[in-house]
Structures are given as structure tokens and as C-alpha cells.
Amino acid sequence: MRNFGKALYNYRVHNQDPTTMVGVGLVVLFAYLIAAPIVLLLSDAFFVQFADQARSGQSMGEATLYYFNRVFLSVIATDVFWLPLLHTATIAFGAIVVALVIGIPMAWLISRTDLPGKQWFATVLIIPYMLPSWTFALAWLTLFKNRTTGGQPSWMEALGFAPPDWLAYGAVPITIILALHYTPFVILLFGNALRQFDSTLEDSARIIGAGNGVIARKIILPLMLPSLVSACTLIFAKCLGDFGVAYILGVPVGFDVLATSLFRAISTSQTGMGAIIALTIVVLGTISIMLDMYLLKEARRFAVIGSKGSMNRTTSLRGYRMPAAGLAMLVFLVSAVIPLLALALTTVMKSPGVFTLDNFTLAYWIGSDVGTTALKQGILLTPEFWQATWNTLWIVGSAALGAGFLGLLVGYAVTRTSSTMISTFLRQVTFLPYLVPGIAFAAAYLSMFAVQRGPVPALYGTPIILVLAILADQMPFASRSGISAMMQLGRDPEEAARIAGAGWLRRLGSVVVPIQKGALVTGILLPFISGIKGLSLVVVLAVPGTDVLTTYALRLVDYGYSQAANAVVLMICIIAFGGTLIVQKLTKSKLSDGLGGK
């Protein structure tokens, strides 16, 4: 009787509010939406698939090393794996070097010198990162492509210069574009480190007799190194998973990187092989993220004690002020203005690169008799465009809404549950998509939802799979912001509401959510922007009926209808850029604060 009483008591105590139940619910949900697809995808690597029974000489479902052989050792290994790996590595390292070469001087100029228009440059030099990377690939095509691929001639061609293949496609343009796109990482991370660097450290070295060279090598460099290495690992991880740029500039000439090779394997239903390539990307990505985390931890050791604020001394550029500003302006022009301008101009020009008045037209936007095979009317009059826009808004919108609320709920469960098992699992599982590149994550969703599983029908071809995939993919950011918001809130306001007599739902609705309104808005808007820009995830999962703006643009590119494609891309840029500015206004935060996130 006594034991029964105690058991009843414990039951009542632990179920006085549904926090634990919510925690368990979230564990199940994310095990299903995140962990299961990834595990399933990776398991494809070890078991014989239906289509490969004959070739592998084993029957379906048997454990096998066939796929490892095929990807790493067979005759096609060079083409499907080793060459793409080499390409990926070359591009990533090339991009890192170029980004450092451009980013380090820019970071120094805008954080430690009297560069004219410093504040303005600090904002505009970050613009490339706010826009989708593959935007610049389309701009590149517009400017540099040659007759190797079809479609309209590029500006270069129109000006009478035929760009060679190495300039038009493949490693060189991909490297340059990724470098320009990720240079903001260097500017932000290195710039922040420079800004926080305390000049008194420099002074104290100088007082004991150290020269400029010694100070640079022994004081500044060691303290700056973590931020630089961190920028490098981040760029590496991003390049590893970047699909759009290579798809636009590499695939047409048979230049594959890991992400496009994975896409090819998936689109030809070679799931076993796809799983191995995905696994490789995940492992490489994990290593670089772990490296970054380790370095961040190391960097914390350098936290300068007692440094009150940083004595930030600006270096006077003297006679070099204008040349330096010119250089920064050049970077801005090349990395943002020219590509966007080129895209914008193509949408109002009949023949690219011909600057005569009669060549300009608004037909591609609002015309009704456009003589191309793909589209008969301007993009704004095309129902498919509006369908894609609507799809984007509601699919990405509901995914972002879901991610935002679930993120806050995860934050609630993690900070309130008494079970460390639940909170640890939730933290880790929601972070998992961060390590999996979009293409691989999409592949995971295909393995999971392409067929009926239990009561869940096959979802491929429906918008639901897109909503779920985008939602899951955005969880790392959403849950991190939810957890930190709940940590800051503490328990008091909620306990006060309990004392006043409010039940759990009431506390959530009247106290927690209203207080977290700001965090919630950010937690919804940021996934929304990132979801709108995202290409790799939707390119695998969308079908013509569920086209979103990004996949619609890509389809138009595939048709060679570049004016319309560029118009769509511009719309995406406007939404992404505007959204980012709104978030920064709302939260009074800088983009750099969220850099560790997605």
C-alpha cells in the first residue's frame, strides 16, 4: 500500500505538466524526421538493392561490400568518386585561398583603418553571402559561356570574344564563384577577431622592445589564427555540400564534384552508391565541423582576461585611403554589382551584350508574344511562375513556421525536462542535419518517404515531403535559437504564472510564447530566407507540380531560357536580401552572430 502510494505520488509529480510528454513526443518526431531518414540512407550503403541483385551476385537485402567496391575500387570509381573528390578538394582549397586573399585585407580595412565609408563597406561586402551562391553561377553563364553549350550567346560572345572552355565552365569559374560567395565568412570572422583585438597587447609588446615583425608574428597572428582557421573550415564544409554552382557550371561539360556525382547517382536510382558518396560527404563535413568546434574551444583559452572593452586603434591609411577604397569598391563591384546587374540586364535585352536602344524590351517580364519555345509570354504573365511563387511561399513558409515553433518547443523541453537523456538526444538529433549536405539529406528523404512505410503513404511528388524536408533541414538553427532563448528566460516567469493558477497550456500561451515573440520571429524568418535560397534539397525532391522558385529557375536554365530564369533568380534575390535586412532590423543583430548556424 505504501509503495503504491509512493508510486502514485511520483507519477503525479512527474505528470503535473506535460513537459516530459512533450519531450518524448519531440524525441519520437525527430527520430522519425531526422534520424531515421539518415540512418536509412546510410544503411543503403551496406545492403544489396533490388536493381543490383544481378550485378552484385547477391540477393536483395543481403549485407554487402559491393557498393564500397563500386565507389572506391571498380572501373567506374574514378568517374563517380575519385575525380569528383579531387575536383571538390581542388575547388574547396582554391576557394579558401582566394577568399583569404580577398577577405583578409578587406576585413582589416573595414575593422582597423580609417577607410572612407567603412560602415557602408562593412554592409555591402557581405551581400554576396545573403544571396544564393548559384545566382552567381547564372550570372557567370550570362557573361562567359561559349558555344559548348546551347542557348543564347553570352555577353563575351556578343562582343566578339569566344571564352575558352576553361574560363566558361568547370573548376575555374566554380572556384571563383564559391570564393566570392564565402569571402564574407573571412570578412566577418576575421574582422570580428581584429575588432576585439586589444591594442594594449600590441603596446605592451612594443614597450618591452618588440619590433613590428615580432609583434605581427608572436602576438597578432597567434590570436587571429583561430578565427582564420574557423573561416577556412566553414568554407570547406560549405563547398563540400554546395550543389547549385557545380550543377550549373560543371555538369554541362561533365565536370563533377561530390555533390553532383551524388545527385547523378540518386537521379539514376543508384541508392547504394549514392549512400556511400553521401556518407563520404557527411564524414568529411563532420570532421571539419569538429575541427572548427575544437578550434573554437582552443580559441576560448585565449580569452584575454581583464581586457575592458578593446582598445581599438585605427591605422591611418594616409595617402592610400582612396586607393584602398577603390580596391574595396572593386571587390563590391565584382562580387555583387556586376553579377546582379548582368542578370538584371539580360532580362530586359533581346540579344545579350548588345547595348542599342531597340534591343531593350520588357517582353520577358510582361510581354505576351515572346518567340521562344519554352515560354510564350513574359514571366510575370506565366501561370507556372506564380504557381512556383505560391508554392515557395506556402511550402517554405509552413516549413519555417513549423521549424520556428518546434525549435522553441525543443528549447522548452531541453531546458525544462528533468530527463537528461531527452534533452541530450534532442540537442544532438536536431543538430544532425547540419552535418549532412542538402543533397544527401534530400536523398535520405527519398529513401525514407519514396515508398509507403507503415501508415505513412509514399510522399514523393507531394508538397508534404518538401515541407518536412525543409523543416528538418532548418532544425539545427531553429532549435539552437530556441534553446538559447529559453536558457535566457529562466524559470521564474513561468513559476510565477503557476502560482497565479495558470495551467501548462495557459503558461505556454500567455507567458512563454509572448515573451519569446522576438526569438520566435527570428526562428521563423531565418529558416524562411534560408529555405527560399536553398537549392540542393528541393532539386531532388520537387517535381514539376511542386516546383518552387529555385527549381523552377533551374528548369528554365535547363530549357536554355535564360532571360526568364534570370528574372526568377532576381525575384529570389530580392526576397532573400530583403528578408535578411528585415531580420537584422528586427533583432538588431548582425549576420556574423548567426554565422556558426546555418
Partner 1 sequence: MSSISIRDVRKSYGNTAQAAVERLSIEIPQSDFLCLLGPSGCGKTTTLRMIAGLEHPTAGQIHLGDRTIVSVEDGVYVPAEKRGLGLVFQNYALWPHMTVEQNVEFGLKLRKVPKAEREAIIGEVLEKLAIARYRKRLPSQLSGGQQQRVALARMLALKPDVILLDEPLSNLDAKLRLDMRAELKRIHQELGSTIVFVTHDQWEAMTLATTIAVMSEGELQQLGTPDDIYERPANRFVAEFVGNLPINIIEVGKERSGALVDWMRDTLARLSLPQPATSVGIRPESVRLSRTSAEGSRKARIVEVVPTGGSWIVELSVEGERFFAIAGELPDAAQGESVFFHVEPRHLHIFDVEGRRIAA
Figure out which of the listed residues 510, 543, 581, 586 binds partner 1, where binding follows CB under 8 A.
510
Instruction: Report in angstroms how near the CB of residue 17 gets to partner 1 at its nearest.
Output: 7
Figure out which of the listed residues 234, 511, 542, 583 binds partner 1, where binding follows CB under 8 A.
511
Identify the CA nearest to 556 among candidates 575, 578, 571, 577: 571
Q: Where are the alpha helices (DSSP H) in 125-220?
A: 127-130, 133-144, 155-158, 165-168, 171-196, 199-207, 212-214
Instruction: Report in angstroms how near the CB of residue 517 gets to partner 1 at its nearest.
Output: 7
357 binding partner 1? (CB under 8 A):
no
- CB of 380 within 8 A of CB of 563? no
Question: How many angstroms separate the CA atoms of 509 and 515, rounded?
Answer: 10
Which run of H or E residues covers position 211?
A: none
Figure out which of the listed residues 172, 502, 521, 591 binds partner 1, where binding follows CB under 8 A.
502
Question: How many angstroms separate the CA atoms of 90 and 102, rounded?
Answer: 18
9 binding partner 1? (CB under 8 A):
yes
487 binding partner 1? (CB under 8 A):
no
Instruction: Report in angstroms how near the CB of residue 513 gets to partner 1 at its nearest.
Output: 10
Figure out which of the listed residues 215, 450, 515, 595 binds partner 1, where binding follows CB under 8 A.
515
Q: Residue 429 has which C-alpha cell? A: 538529433
Figure out which of the listed residues 417, 492, 535, 576 binds partner 1, where binding follows CB under 8 A.
492
| Location of C-alpha cell 524562411 | 528
Terminal-to-terminal C-alpha distance of the chain? 55
Residues 6 or more apart whose CB falls under 8 angstroms from that of 479 comprise 406, 407, 410, 411, 414, 426, 427, 430, 431
Burial (CB < 10 A; 0-12, 13-18, 19+), residue 410, is buried
- CB of 491 within 8 A of CB of 511? no
498 binding partner 1? (CB under 8 A):
yes
Q: Residue 400 has which C-alpha cell? A: 519555417
Instruction: Report in angstroms how near the CB of residue 490 gets to partner 1 at its nearest.
Output: 9
SS3 assignment, position 348: coil
424 binding partner 1? (CB under 8 A):
no
Question: How many angstroms separate the CA atoms of 328 and 277, rounded?
Answer: 39
What is the size of the binding site for partner 1 (CB under 8 A)?
29
493 binding partner 1? (CB under 8 A):
yes
- Taking the least distance from each CB to partner 1, the nearer of 493 and 578 is 493
514 binding partner 1? (CB under 8 A):
yes
16 binding partner 1? (CB under 8 A):
yes
Question: How many angstroms separate the CA atoms of 385 and 62, rounded?
Answer: 46
- Taking the least distance from each CB to partner 1, the nearer of 323 and 503 is 503
Instruction: Report in angstroms how near the CB of residue 21 gets to partner 1 at its nearest.
Output: 15
Figure out which of the listed residues 116, 117, 211, 503 binds partner 1, where binding follows CB under 8 A.
503
How far is it between the farthest Cα atoms of the chain?
Answer: 95
585 binding partner 1? (CB under 8 A):
no
- CB of 21 within 8 A of CB of 15? yes
DSSP state of 510: I
Instruction: Report in angstroms how near the CB of residue 507 gets to partner 1 at its nearest.
Output: 8
506 binding partner 1? (CB under 8 A):
yes
457 binding partner 1? (CB under 8 A):
no
Instruction: Report in angstroms how near the CB of residue 520 gets to partner 1 at its nearest.
Output: 12
Instruction: Report in angstroms how near the CB of residue 588 gets to partner 1 at its nearest.
Output: 16
- Taking the least distance from each CB to partner 1, the nearer of 321 and 498 is 498
7 binding partner 1? (CB under 8 A):
yes
13 binding partner 1? (CB under 8 A):
yes
- Taking the least distance from each CB to partner 1, the nearer of 7 and 322 is 7
Residues at the contact surface with partner 1, assessed by CB under 8 A = 2, 4-9, 11-13, 16-17, 492-493, 495-503, 506, 510-511, 514-515, 517
